[in-house]
Structure 1
Amino acid sequence: MDTTDSAYGDKLILLDTFDTAVAVDPSAEDDAKRRFMTLILQTAHRNNGNIGHVLRATNTSGEVFAVKLLKDNAILSGQAPDRSAEQSAAHLASTAALFEEYRHLCTVSHLRGFPRVYGYGSCEDDPLILMEWVEGTSLKQALPLLPHDASGGLTTQMVAAVGNAVLRALLMTQGLVNPVVHRDLSPANIMFRTTSRTLEQQIADCSFDPCLIDMGSATMALGDDTITRRADIWRFATPAYAAPEMLTQDIEGIAALRRSPAIDVYALSSILYQLYSGRKPFDFESTDAAATGSFYLVKTKTKPTPLEPRCEGDEALAQIIMKGLSVEQCDRPTEQQMLEVLSTYLTDAESEGREGAGSDAAIDIDSGTHLKVDVAGERAREILEQARHDAMTRRRFIIGGVVAAVAGLSVIGAATHGFGIPDYLDGIRSSLDDYTWDQLQEISLKIKAAETRSEAREIAKRYHLLDADGHIPYPCTKRVKLTNGLEVGAQLVGIRHDELLDGTGKAGLTFMFDAGIAERNAAAEPPSAGWADCELREWLDGDGLKLL
């Protein structure tokens, strides 16, 4: 996380109150208090929005957290500030805004691409949020390290990769009952996690692990902008990247406009414009906008310099970015439309790499052995069609919010369109995402049919689903597009581990979603009816299954 020097030294604090973000078993309440209520605030901190800043903290067990405090907090000074009536009113409003941020953090905490939140508490009567300390590098910091084109901007593929990663995180919220709009996307608020893969590895893979931080300006897409109404706080965003509607409060219908995902589309388009061209779409440093406070007028009365594509192939990228900078929300593309365009640049790059390797390219497998795939494409398609008719058609689902078993393949959110591939079409791939679901089904059946667990693990190793030490590599995820358009990752979590519903043994492969796909009420109606008649089960048996 971005850090700067601070005048504060390490400080031990004891929280007065603390409520965990998720329910805790009463028997574990004392453990939760010991874990979260005694903290050592450290000097590293990151300024975070208009009302607060974030400090790194550890508990007595050495776990690392992020603590978000109000800027006028009494915790670090050691004494309660002497506030006037006006300052006290502002403090109360800031407290309300901090709790609103906490509410939004809780909503997205379980989604990939957002920080985890642990709870909300107080110390010396000042509120705080306890959340994940994101180890990583911000896009702002990483910018000089990313591959650049001769024109001064990033390479086209790198621009698409960054946009793709951010859009996938934003689209994670679309599965929520009430989606969340971030409203302050900027290079400083886009982190690339480096816990599992270094930034250099992510750059080499052209695949980033983003985390969108600073939810201080976030809101729910549906309903009223409650904090604005309740506390008279009108939250703004970083002017260089913000949509015009985030820079004013006196136009008709502004409250509804400020709840639209189109705000995030505009901000991301501004970021991608900068990445591609090497300059921001609006250079406020060279205008009088800062002096007049009229960022809104600058963005609505003037247009950024058109983004010139470097080559004919970049025209679609340049067009979608410029369209995202439209003044009117209805003229901007949706997040899904942007993702579809950006994804083609990543897919095209991968295809070029495969074509350059030649049709008889050797595929690397264990111990330097090589295998040539030389089956003609037409013959392969014929065999696949026959295999779909001949292979098993029975599907079994176990859905308790976490697992679904599909014949020999346990999956959450995996859309399998055909089963079974003959062994002579069995190609070895370097990673999970390179396999089709048909191929994974066949691999799963081989693992399931192995006589011993050791033999099953050797099969998984051969297909690069386990590393040389017998561990599932990280990341080991295959992207899944559900029927509602939401894209999530299916993470491999087990090799011959989970029992199949039909009692025929263990599933060869077990997958789990890396993010939630929907929110539903799990409470029984009526309460005495239990799981059989609850709304969650009814949804899973109907619309839930249709997503797969």
Structure 2
Amino acid sequence: MSAGLPMHSSIGPYRVIDHVGAGGMGTVYRVSHRATGKVAAAKVMTGGGTTPRALERFRNEARILQALSHPSIAAMYEFLEVNGAPCLVMEYVDGDTLEQLIRTRGPFPVQDALRIFAALTDAVGYIHQRGIVHRDLKTTNVKVDTLGAVKLLDFGIAVGDGSPRLTSTGNVVGTLMSLAPEQLRTGRAEPRSDLWALGIVLYELLTGRPPFDGAAPGFVGERIMRGEYTPASTLRPELPRDVDRIIGRCLKVRLEDRYATAEALLTDLRALQSGEKPLGGAHASYDLLRTSGEMATTIARQWRLALSATLAVIAVAFFAWSLRAPDVPPSAASGGGTSTLGGRPARVDDLPPATDEPREPREPRDPASHDAPPALGASAGIGPEGRDRVSLADSVSRRPLIIRVLEGTADVYINDVRVGVTPYTLTAPIGTEVQLMLRREGCDDLRRPLRLEEGMQETVESLSGCRRR
């Protein structure tokens, strides 16, 4: 047994049997009740986790769990203290996590995956009905016991209607590869954020890998923000196409395009399990209708073709009309960016060219300087009314990109010029390449090339080597 409480020591009325594992919040032991012999799991808060905020998170987990009773959620028995440290005594789940099962056995058979996933989805629907958002749904937080029962674990960062505010505004909590776009963007989660995470769990069950992965956290964040992943059926061609549709509905970037509730998702799952086609005959119109929990009805193929042709004509006509527009307001070229450099909108045009050679970061130039270069990629001039004129192509191609970091803030340098602090909005034409550096006291500098691609809205980076202060 690893360091911690010795075997046969006491946790209230419980006797320690052995050590199960440890995490950022504490250590878990398998224990038995001295009077009844009932086996349980005791999670004792230890080590560096005993900060006031961590203590409140631990108590918040206890408050949430004590009100829950569901066959697919590990039950809480009682809340104790061990040598002044808080302790949760919970149902002991004798089994492996989904992550362990996937790692040792590979992807699950379809029906097994759907059975496990349906039980998990039912549990998530149960907590949502009670105003609780889990915020950390992933394969390491779900166990399957020796009898095949599914158990959702770890409500350490869950929030309920009565939970205290424990996360600073803009800070992101959770596991990067399971975070929904809105969590990366704002740090806030809601029930549909859990549905995104459920889609990732189903994808992993069926393919053996997460949909959004990569060596660099920033690139993972970019894929999440754009919803870019390989369909499960591409990795496993025998999968029913309706599995792709269910996963795809969970992994919609826009909240309103996902399932409205876990119950709606469960309806589709049960239809798929029973052999029915969840989307009926309306596969092509499903996303257009955006029904919530009920399958779209069949729409005639001729009607869909007619609608597509009509929309195409309208689009061509609008594009032709827009090319004749005499003026585009200067604000249209800004792309909506809000960050400033020396009191004016910050753009990549203000910065020196990118280079692979590291240079000592410099402060931005004096904003009153009259030798600033013209807007990058813009056909700028003075119109008859004295206003700046910018071509339509320039206004369309310029896009804002928000640069964020996980946990806290960092100074942002573009091509070795400090331009602001995260979250920072950089506005530049599509295809622009810059050298990005993020700097925070006590952490290693993060340096990497950054290219603005079509559809790219945000990049979320993770600083490494951070020392505790």
Change (3 A) 1:235 1:120: farther
The corresponding residue for 1:332 is 258
Taking only the aligned residue pairs, the percentage that are identical comes to: 24
Question: 1: CA distance between counterparts of 2:39 and 2:170?
Answer: 32
Q: How far did 1:330 drift?
A: 1.5
Change (3 A) 1:278 1:67: closer
Question: 2: CA distance between counterparts of 1:327 and 1:228?
Answer: 26
1:132 correspondence with 2:106: no
Contact 1:67-1:129 at 8 Å conserved across structures: yes
The corresponding residue for 1:98 is 58
1:170 correspondence with 2:124: yes
Change (3 A) 1:226 1:9: closer
Query: Residue 198 of structure 2: which of 251, 264, 268 is its match?
Result: 268
The corresponding residue for 1:384 is none
Aligned residues: 273
Change (3 A) 1:116 1:345: same
1:214 correspondence with 2:154: yes
Q: How far did 1:44 drift?
A: 2.1
Task: Read off the aligned partner of 1:100 and give its amino acid letter.
Answer: N
1:116-163: per-residue Cα shift (whole Å, max 9, x none)?
2122121222111122212222212223676x7xxxx43332332222
1:306 correspondence with 2:258: no
- The correspondence of residues 254-293 of structure 1 with structure 2, limited to 5 A, is 254-255=187-188, 258=189, 260-284=190-214, 286=215, 288-289=216-217
Q: How far did 1:234 drift?
A: 5.8
Question: 1: CA distance between counterparts of 2:225 and 2:183?
Answer: 12
The corresponding residue for 1:413 is none
Query: Residue 271 of structure 2: which of 316, 338, 344 is its match?
Result: 344
Cα RMSD between the aligned structures? Answer: 3.1
Change (3 A) 1:308 1:40: same
Judging by fraction of residues, say which structure has more helix: 1
Q: TM-score, normalised by structure 1?
A: 0.45
- The correspondence of residues 35-114 of structure 1 with structure 2, limited to 5 A, is 37-48=12-23, 50-61=24-35, 62-72=37-47, 91-108=51-68, 110-114=69-73
Q: How far did 1:52 drift?
A: 2.2
Change (3 A) 1:193 1:91: same
The corresponding residue for 1:373 is none
Secondary structure at 2:241's aligned position in 1? helix
- The correspondence of residues 406-425 of structure 1 with structure 2, limited to 5 A, is none
1:121 correspondence with 2:72: no
- The correspondence of residues 458-469 of structure 1 with structure 2, limited to 5 A, is none
Task: Read off the aligned partner of 2:144 and give its amino acid letter.
Answer: F
1:160-179: per-residue Cα shift (whole Å, max 9, x none)?
2222121122223355xx33
Task: Read off the aligned partner of 1:332 and give its amino acid letter.
Answer: R
1:450-477: per-residue Cα shift (whole Å, max 9, x none)?
xxxxxxxxxxxxxxxxxxxxxxxxxxxx
Change (3 A) 1:280 1:14: closer
Question: 1: CA distance between counterparts of 2:210 and 2:173?
Answer: 19
Secondary structure at 1:137's aligned position in 2? strand
Q: How far did 1:8 drift?
A: 4.2
Secondary structure at 2:224's aligned position in 1? helix
Q: TM-score, normalised by structure 2?
A: 0.52
Contact 1:189-1:214 at 8 Å conserved across structures: yes
Question: 2: CA distance between counterparts of 1:338 and 1:332?
Answer: 9
Question: 1: CA distance between counterparts of 2:181 and 2:169?
Answer: 20
Contact 1:52-1:71 at 8 Å conserved across structures: yes
Change (3 A) 1:192 1:154: closer
1:240 correspondence with 2:240: no
Task: Read off the aligned partner of 2:179 and give its amino acid letter.
Answer: A
Q: How far did 1:347 drift?
A: 1.1
Change (3 A) 1:47 1:331: farther
1:182 correspondence with 2:156: no
Q: How far did 1:262 drift?
A: 1.1
Change (3 A) 1:45 1:235: farther
The corresponding residue for 1:392 is none
Task: Read off the aligned partner of 2:72 and give its amino acid letter.
Answer: G
Contact 1:13-1:38 at 8 Å conserved across structures: no
Change (3 A) 1:234 1:57: farther
Change (3 A) 1:278 1:64: closer
1:247-295: per-residue Cα shift (whole Å, max 9, x none)?
45xx3xx54xx1x2212211111121122233211123x3x21xx6x75
The corresponding residue for 2:345 is none
1:39-68: per-residue Cα shift (whole Å, max 9, x none)?
3234322234x3223211223233322111
Contact 1:100-1:227 at 8 Å conserved across structures: no
Secondary structure at 2:16's aligned position in 1? strand
Q: How far did 1:328 drift?
A: 2.0
1:212-237: per-residue Cα shift (whole Å, max 9, x none)?
001101112x46x52426x9996722
Gapped regions of structure 1 (runs ≥ 5): 16-36, 74-86, 203-208, 350-548
Contact 1:55-1:68 at 8 Å conserved across structures: yes
The corresponding residue for 1:471 is none
Change (3 A) 1:14 1:155: closer
Contact 2:97-2:139 at 8 Å conserved across structures: yes
- The correspondence of residues 484-499 of structure 1 with structure 2, limited to 5 A, is none
1:358-412: per-residue Cα shift (whole Å, max 9, x none)?
xxxxxxxxxxxxxxxxxxxxxxxxxxxxxxxxxxxxxxxxxxxxxxxxxxxxxxx
Secondary structure at 1:180's aligned position in 2? coil
1:228 correspondence with 2:155: no
Change (3 A) 1:129 1:155: closer
Gapped regions of structure 2 (runs ≥ 5): 277-469
Q: How far did 1:344 drift?
A: 2.2
Question: 1: CA distance between counterparts of 2:47 and 2:238?
Answer: 53
